[in-house]
């Protein structure tokens, strides 16, 4: 009987592992809303959250921001692998503290839950002389959710980001548009890339737990299926 129970537990854990989702949320540039989108997905999936690298704002890290916006009591927030004082490109922020970022130090947290990973900056941000943020995404072999925001040049930045991901055979689960609407730009991006829009976040006056809950409730059913 004990053997049967043990086998059942092993099978159950294996099934849970198979269906656990890991998404790497990155953006077409800095400041396009990755942290807010991360909070929405964490809430919708009741997922764990991890930001591998934080550069600057150590008094209010992105991990702290996401934690303050999430309402559920299931999500866990994993410690950053690297934290630097200077709000700059990670390779430079590390250099100022006489540190060289070693890609081998990045290990995905062990968890039986879904996991949302948030990038620092855009895809081509350097972590050291030879290793970019996109290389870290490739190392983790996770699917990407790409956050786009409408501004002059955003079509170019979005298409270049999509091309860079495709060139490295990194799967893109979907695009999130954040902020002021521009239907012409958004429609062009979706039609040209063939990538679905999984969420649109409007220009919100206030970002708080209720805001995050509103969007997480809108997409909860959808993202459990993707």
Catalytic residues: 51
Nearest to 191 by CA among 200, 183, 179: 183
- φ, ψ dihedrals at 86, nearest 5°: -90, 130
CB-facing half-sphere around the CA of 159: CA atoms within 13 A: 13
Q: Could you tell me how far CA 144 lies from the centroid of its own chain?
A: 7
Which residue's entry shows tokens 């943020």? 133
| 155, HSE (Cβ side, Cα atoms, 13 Å) | 12
């Amino acid at each position: 009987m004990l053997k049967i129970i043990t086998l059942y537990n092993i099978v159950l854990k294996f099934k849970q592992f198979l269906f656990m989702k890991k998404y790497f949320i990155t953006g077409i540039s800095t400041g396009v809303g990755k942290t807010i989108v991360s909070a929405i997905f964490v809430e919708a999936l009741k997922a764990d959250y991890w930001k591998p690298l934080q550069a600057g704002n150590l008094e209010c890290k992105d991990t702290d921001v996401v934690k303050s916006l999430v309402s559920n009591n299931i999500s866990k927030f994993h410690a950053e692998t690297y934290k630097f004082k200077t709000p700059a490109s990670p390779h430079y922020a590390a250099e100022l503290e006489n540190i060289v970022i070693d890609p081998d130090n990045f290990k995905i947290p062990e968890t039986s839950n879904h996991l949302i990973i948030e990038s620092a900056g855009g895809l081509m941000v350097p972590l050291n002389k030879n290793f970019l943020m996109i290389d870290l995404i490739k190392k983790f072999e996770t699917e990407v959710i790409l956050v786009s925001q409408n501004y002059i040049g955003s079509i170019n930045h979005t298409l270049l980001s999509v091309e860079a991901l495709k060139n490295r055979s990194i799967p893109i689960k979907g695009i999130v548009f954040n902020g002021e609407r521009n239907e012409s730009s958004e429609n062009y991006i979706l039609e040209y890339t063939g990538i679905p829009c999984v969420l649109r976040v409007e220009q919100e006056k206030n970002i708080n737990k209720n805001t995050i809950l509103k969007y997480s409730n809108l997409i909860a059913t959808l993202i459990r299926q993707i």
